[in-house]
A = this chain, B = another copy of it.
Amino acid sequence: MATSTEDDNRESKKKKIDGNKDVDPQLWHAVAGITVQIPELNSNIFYFPQGHAEHAYEPVNFPADIKIPSEIPCRVAAIHYRADLDTDEVYAKLRLVPLHISEVSFDDDDVTRIDDMSETKNKYQFYTKTLTQSDINGGGLSCPRYCAETLFPPLDYSGTPPSQKIYPTDFHGETWEFKHVYRGMPKRHLLSTGWRVFVTNKLLVSGDSLVFARAENSDLHIGILRSKRLNDFGFNPSSKSKPGNEIGIRLVPPHGELKSSSGEKDDKPQKNELSISDKVMGIGKVKAEDVIEAVKLGVNMQPFDVVYYPRVGTPEFFVKTSLIRTVLQIRWYSGMRFKMAFESEDSSKINWFMGTIASLHTADPAWPNSLWRLLQVTWDKPDLLKNTKRVNPWQVEIPLNTPSIPFSCFLPPSRKKLRLLEYQAFPTDDQFSMPTFPNYFQTPNIPSLHLPETNPAGMQGARRDPFCLSLSDFHINKSPLGLFKPNLQQPFDHNATTSMTVRSNAVLQKANESENVPCSPSEKQDHANPAQIVLFGQTIRVDAGNENAVNKITNSFSNLLQDPPKQSSGERLECDPENQCIKETLAGET
């Protein structure tokens, strides 16, 4: 439908008919946002009804007659990566299969991986351009040389001016036609004819980003990454979310089909009119009844589907079990310093914001034991984040060398085991004992955890601690946006913050080792011989690239429960961030 010339017989049109087809996961992630992570197929997660409810566009009144747990352990049975037919907004549809407590694994490597290697491969070359005012209002798109020369088909420069047609396809398989011309003085690459149609059709505004992706077969794809101006919970200073709503959820009626400005009822163009970004960002996308239906099925141990729109901005409501385990291994206290990642305004990089935990309160009295938005926080720059008052513990990172930590949480390495009693002697009365999750950890196959501590002294002052993997590493390695790398490699000031990660590092398994700089950047690993380990009676195959993850888990447990498992690469031991950073356990030793 976008290609209007008659001489081409490329397939256009018709694609909209066959409903919503899946988008390539790499393309999907390229526009989902740099902070978005979707659990692996078959991995175990905790599903949070509260978090799901935040994704609804209307208030969710959970039925009072059934007891709804604050979280439901599930297996991820299916993942569909898709794009909204109206807005192009990406979303993921996950099928979750509730698990009995006895079935829950907190180990990332219990996942049966299907085609892990194929996912690892970078099938695309990406370029992301944030649209300027001139791109929108002017006659065409000013296309950076790198994008034109690297991703577009080779241009015959003999023309006057040199020009060609390019035919990228959007996430629905629709093909668009643009005139690509090299002209001006000095010469530059422009997309002229066809660009206006695209802007109008996709309702682009300046600040939105365009993602070009060139597949291996030279096919060109085009995706849209809407501006996060009005993003999650008032990150933006001009946020319109109502004051007084501590969590900052905006409840608005669902927006219907998109209308272009020219289709508005008003005859004057309205400057205050909401753009599509406003409609996409910060607004829940699912129906309250869908949330309730999902919860009901989950409570009854029935499989259920959830739809997750990452650009809505509220956190994921499914969290890997391993990450929850990590969270539970941290002693949280009020006054604790942390940093948290936010997508930058042009969505191209991550901004880190420092804050302090003000208190630990459950967000909703209906779930007195929930981890959801457990942390009530204050920010060092409160004006920028004034509507973000509560965050999830798995969203934050704990910098190690922040001076404001009231007393060291890192105990000497000799003290291998701590009793709960000792924690209760801590002076901080906001100290939080996880109320529900110990139930999971006290099941037979997940014994109470007592993790080892190491001496953090050696880490102090390190410019980049080789023993500690940070969220920034995680994102560098995970992102298929290779072109973002220059930005991502300086996500925060390493002079000031050496980090203890809270987020799951299991994604490291997908990392390209050459980018896995913290340990031994120049050292190539042996991919030939996957090792096996035995953990809790389970045989786990250690794929190349998975060793880190396995090591982390096994190290975490090994000091407590059994002999150190076989190490496929011994030098990796000290690279384990959890071994380094997670020091405590909550349940008493059995």
Contacts and interface: CB of A to CB of B under 8 A. Distances in A.
A366 interface: no
A2 B266 CA distance: 7
A262 interface: yes
Nearest to A177: B267
Given A4-B268, A268-B1, A268-B4, A260 B263 contact: yes
A18 to B, nearest CB: 16
A257 interface: yes
A263 B266 contact: no
Interface in A406-429: none
A197 interface: yes
A26 to B, nearest CB: 25
Contacts of A259: 257-260, 263
Interface in A306-355: none
Contacts of A260: 259-260, 262-263
Contacts of A266: 1-2, 201
A132 B95 CA distance: 54
Contacts of A262: 200, 260, 262-263
A1 B256 contact: no
B267 A197 contact: yes
A330 to B, nearest CB: 47
Interface size class, chain A = 10 to 19
Contacts of A197: 267
Interface string A154-171: 000000000000000000
- Secondary structure class of chain A's binding surface, majority of residues: loop
Nearest to A270: B1
B263 A258 contact: yes
Contacts of A271: none
A197 B264 CA distance: 11
A10 interface: no
Interface string A246-279: 0000000000111110110111100000000000
Contacts of A267: 1-2, 4, 197, 201
A2 B268 CA distance: 8
A201 B265 contact: yes
A255 to B, nearest CB: 8
Contacts of A263: 258-260, 262-263
Interface string A2-33: 10100000000000100000000000000000
A279 to B, nearest CB: 12
Given A2-B267, A258-B259, A259-B260, 6 more contacts: A1-B265, A2-B266, A16-B265, A256-B256, A257-B257, A262-B263
Query: 9 tightest CB-CB pairs across the interface, nearest first?
Result: A263-B263, A260-B263, A256-B257, A256-B256, A197-B267, A262-B262, A1-B266, A259-B263, A4-B268
26 contacts: A1-B265, A1-B266, A1-B268, A2-B266, A4-B267, A4-B268, A16-B265, A197-B267, A201-B265, A201-B266, A201-B267, A256-B256, A256-B257, A257-B257, A257-B259, A258-B259, A258-B263, A259-B259, A259-B260, A259-B263, A260-B260, A260-B262, A260-B263, A262-B262, A262-B263, A263-B263
